[in-house]
């Protein structure tokens, strides 16, 4: 399934802001952020059977990541986006909140649902004190949907994630059908808005 119509850049931005607000000097290592965001997406599926960000999941040599998120951080965007209002360009493998951002707490993150905030708080509580390398090791050891791709990358299929989370085949099928329906609706809305 193509996640381009599930991906929510505003939620990605606000989830990133959440982690930046928790971090020293409102700055975070990119690899650590990528692991925290992946674990958040995974936990959202585990707890609520729905994605938070809606990104494509992929296996890379340093563990599982959110594909479009990684592209956004590494390569930026040709047009100004919601992300650009709040997040500084990467420097020394870190990103940070822009200096003029007025967001002070998760109460200001209006794109995120209460469930999203619950997930983010739980992930930060469990993993916020870990280094990026501890998180790489953790995702290698405790995310069985990840497989080492060597120097390439492999997509992580939802069915493999759901199996790793212990979901029944019936529940997995139901969630995938809901995701496909949502992607179709989002695609239709986008087509209407573009005309």
CA-wise closest residue to 44 among 114, 147, 149: 114
Using CA atoms, how far apart are residues 43 and 47, in angstroms rounded to an integer?
A: 6
Q: How far apart are the two ends of the chain, measured CA to CA in Å? A: 25
CA-wise closest residue to 28 among 97, 109, 84: 97
Which is it for strands 154-155 and 57-60: parallel, antiparallel or unpaired? antiparallel
Query: Which pLDDT band, with edges at 50, 70 and 90, does 195 fall under?
Result: low
Domain parsing of the chain, residue ranges: 9-194
Q: Using an 8 Å Cβ cutoff, are 116 and 19 in contact? A: no
Question: Is the pLDDT reported for residue 69 higher than 90?
Answer: yes
Q: Which two tokens mark 162?
A: 């759901």
Model pLDDT for residues 79-110, shown as the tens digit of each residue:
778 998 999 877 889 999 998 888 888 899 99
Read off the pTM.
0.94
Look at residue 119 in the predicted model and tell me its pLDDT. 98
77 CA to centre of own chain: 17
Using CA atoms, how far apart are residues 1 and 4, in angstroms rounded to an integer?
A: 9
């Amino acid at each position: 399934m193509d996640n381009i119509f599930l991906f929510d850049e505003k939620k990605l931005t606000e989830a990133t802001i959440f982690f930046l607000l928790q971090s020293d000097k409102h700055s975070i290592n990119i690899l650590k952020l990528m692991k925290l965001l992946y674990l958040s997406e995974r936990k959202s599926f585990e707890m609520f059977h729905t994605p938070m960000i809606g990104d494509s999941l992929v296996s890379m040599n340093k563990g599982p990541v959110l594909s479009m998120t990684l592209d956004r951080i590494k390569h930026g965007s040709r047009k100004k986006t919601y992300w650009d209002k709040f997040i500084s360009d990467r420097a020394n493998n870190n990103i940070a909140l822009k200096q003029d951002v007025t967001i002070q707490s998760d109460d200001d993150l209006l794109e995120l649902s209460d469930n999203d905030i619950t997930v983010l708080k739980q992930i930060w509580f469990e993993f916020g004190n870990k280094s990026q390398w501890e998180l790489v090791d953790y995702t290698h050891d405790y995310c069985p949907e990840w497989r080492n791709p060597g120097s390439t990358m492999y997509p992580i299929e939802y069915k493999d994630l759901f199996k790793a989370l212990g979901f029944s085949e019936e529940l997995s099928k139901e969630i995938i059908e809901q995701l496909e329906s949502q992607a179709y609706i989002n695609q239709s809305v986008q087509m209407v808005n573009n005309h």
